[in-house]
Structure 1
Amino acid sequence: MMGHNQLRHSQGGPWVAATAAELLAGATSREAVDPDDGKSGSSFARVTIDGRGYFLKSLSPAGDWIMRITGDYEHRPLLVWQAGIIHSAPACIDPAIVGMALEGDGEHAVLSILMHDIGDRLVPEGDEPIRLAQHRGFVDHLAALSAAYWGWEDTIGLVPLSHRFRFFAPDNIAAELDVDDVPVPIRVADEGWRVLPERSPRLAEVLAGIHDDPSTLTRALEETPATFLHGDWKMGNLGSHPDGRTILLDWAYPGQGPACYDLAWYMALNRSRLPETKEATIEAFRSALERHGVDTGGWWETQLDLCLLGIMATFAWEKAVGDEAELRWWESRALGAIRWLG
């Protein structure tokens, strides 16, 4: 017999419960957990409902620093869920979401996201490269998602492209440095921005200009094709089913933007896990877009270069505290993109 939540989810369309209690109706156990990759301040729990395992994530702007620096006071995962965007993703993508519920008002409003417990199929923690086949699957399915929403326009108020470049801008994270327990990524970002002018003066200068006014970069990218961006293709959000489908979690930074931005994010945050060079990954993504019906002629080089610059506005601090070869690769590609800014 089909359980309560399976029945609601099977009726078609995204399920939004009125309360977290409704979302968890029939639960027989609930155990708080602290995922290794959970760095945001959200709370997590494993739940058993009708004898099946689920995973519950609860978050609010008051408790989640990532929501604050990304400017999410509207609960964007709920917006894309309600709009049917997640539910309508290509069959090769499994978001693992059962339903959501939002309770409260303002910055203390709590969004509860109930997911299937697929933890055993996620990419394990670590620094070892993943299998080439799995990596290529991720790249192919990123292209499939991009192609499925090619030309998509944001009409529901998701992450503005210009703000993606300012997620970790010094002035944007300043308030998070004043709390008693500064999150590790914020502390490292602060250190990285301070070190960058010593390690790469020209890159630091260019990125400071983008942080002050991202409009030139934004306008240049808006001249290239747009799609729907998931926004966080890091290994901590990825996994694979035995049938090859990609598990894609944490739709926290969705919005309209260039497909190459999701690619650049994937390469920047997963550098130690990639089983092939960035150049090979880039070519695999372009080939996958073409395979999924996207003509990459006329815009590819411009968009790719500008996205490699844009992702450094977001994450150059991480490269500034890392090894020399990694920093120099990104420095070269980012500075090379300046030619497209006019």
Structure 2
Amino acid sequence: MKHSLFPTAEAMLLPDTLSKLVGREITAVSLQPLTTEYGRSGSRILIVNTNQNTGPRFILKRVSLAWDWLMRHTEDTLCRSVTLWQYGLFDQMPAPIYPGVIACAHDDEGWAILMDDFSSIILPFTPFTQAQSHFFLEAMAAMHTQFWQNPALKAPTLGLCKLHHLYAMFAPRTARTEMAG
């Protein structure tokens, strides 16, 4: 494994630890919930403010099978977002793709993914321009070229989902199951 998990989200967010992770002095850390139009899987998203809101800002994503329906329906028992980071596959992303993952933790609540704050560049719910569409297609092509037939992707330790999960995750049956609780 290229990257190690922290034992808890709290340990990962200690000012001294965060300072080492980001290469800047962090003297204080506070969390606040983030509500957004995006991310309806059930994950919990928190803003990580530092240095009394004068330092860098980050995003903490908390995921767990207990509350994330996409994890449940794709049998994501290892948290593939974390395993891809742990095993260094995110580090192999071609330009212009930058996953923004700084560190991850696993504790009793589930997984915690600490990321750069990209909220200022999230696209609104509007049709893409022709230039944006071209950019996205080029980025996806670069990613597929980078990982095409990469044997590392076959490792069961990554916990990647199977094709049938992709087809079933947005099926009416899945929605009915989730709505029923």
Give TM-score scaled by structure 2 length. Answer: 0.80
Match of 2:34 in 1: 33
Distance between the aligned counterparts of 1:29 and 1:172, measured in 2? Answer: 36
Counterpart of 1:93 in 2: which secondary structure?
coil
Match of 2:10 in 1: 21
Distance 1:46 1:115, change over 3 A: same
> C-alpha deviations, 1:199-223, integer Å up to 9, x for none?
xxxxxxxxxxxxxxxxxxxxxxxxx
Match of 2:92 in 1: 88
> C-alpha deviations, 1:217-250, integer Å up to 9, x for none?
xxxxxxxxxxxxxxxxxxxxxxxxxxxxxxxxxx
Larger Rg: 1
1:20 Cα deviation from its structure 2 partner: 0.4
> C-alpha deviations, 1:108-159, integer Å up to 9, x for none?
x4111111111101112x2x32232222111101000000111124213310
Distance 1:36 1:173, change over 3 A: closer
Distance 1:17 1:84, change over 3 A: same
Distance 1:172 1:40, change over 3 A: closer
Answer whether contact 2:44 2:62 (CA < 8 A) is retained. Answer: yes
Counterpart of 2:138 in 1: which secondary structure?
helix
* CA RMSD after TM alignment: 1.9
Match of 2:19 in 1: none
> C-alpha deviations, 1:158-203, integer Å up to 9, x for none?
1012322222344444431312xxxxxxxxxxxxxxxxxxxxxxxx
Q: How does 1:258-277 map to 2 (within 5 A)?
A: none
Distance between the aligned counterparts of 1:172 and 1:133, measured in 2? Answer: 35
* 2:127 counterpart (125, 129, 133): 129
Distance between the aligned counterparts of 2:69 and 2:148, measured in 1? Answer: 31
1:43 and 2:47 are equivalent in the alignment: no
Matched positions, count: 161
Distance between the aligned counterparts of 1:45 and 1:84, measured in 2? Answer: 24
Distance 1:168 1:122, change over 3 A: closer
1:155 and 2:155 are equivalent in the alignment: yes
Answer whether contact 1:14 1:87 (CA < 8 A) is retained. Answer: no
Hey, which of these two has a bigger chunk of helix by percent? 1
Match of 1:145 in 2: 143
> C-alpha deviations, 1:243-298, integer Å up to 9, x for none?
xxxxxxxxxxxxxxxxxxxxxxxxxxxxxxxxxxxxxxxxxxxxxxxxxxxxxxxx
Counterpart of 2:127 in 1: which secondary structure?
coil
Answer whether contact 2:93 2:146 (CA < 8 A) is retained. Answer: yes
Give TM-score scaled by structure 1 length. Answer: 0.44
Counterpart of 2:123 in 1: which secondary structure?
coil
Gaps of at least 5 residues in structure 2 are 16-27
Distance between the aligned counterparts of 1:143 and 1:57, measured in 2? Answer: 27
1:73 and 2:77 are equivalent in the alignment: yes
1:65 Cα deviation from its structure 2 partner: 1.3
Answer whether contact 1:43 1:58 (CA < 8 A) is retained. Answer: yes
Distance between the aligned counterparts of 2:46 and 2:171, measured in 1? Answer: 32
Distance 1:91 1:16, change over 3 A: farther
Distance between the aligned counterparts of 1:84 and 1:28, measured in 2? Answer: 27
Distance 1:143 1:131, change over 3 A: same
* 1:53 counterpart (51, 57, 71): 57
Q: How does 1:1-342 map to 2 (within 5 A)?
A: 13-14=2-3, 16-26=5-15, 27-49=28-50, 51-104=55-108, 109-124=109-124, 126=125, 128-153=126-151, 154-156=154-156, 157-179=159-181
Counterpart of 2:111 in 1: which secondary structure?
strand
Distance between the aligned counterparts of 1:122 and 1:15, measured in 2? Answer: 28
Answer whether contact 1:69 1:168 (CA < 8 A) is retained. Answer: no
| Letter matched to residue 59 of structure 2 | F
Distance between the aligned counterparts of 1:43 and 1:149, measured in 2? Answer: 29
Per chain length, whose mean CA-contact separation is higher, i.e. which structure has more relative contact order (CA < 8 Å, sep 6+)?
2
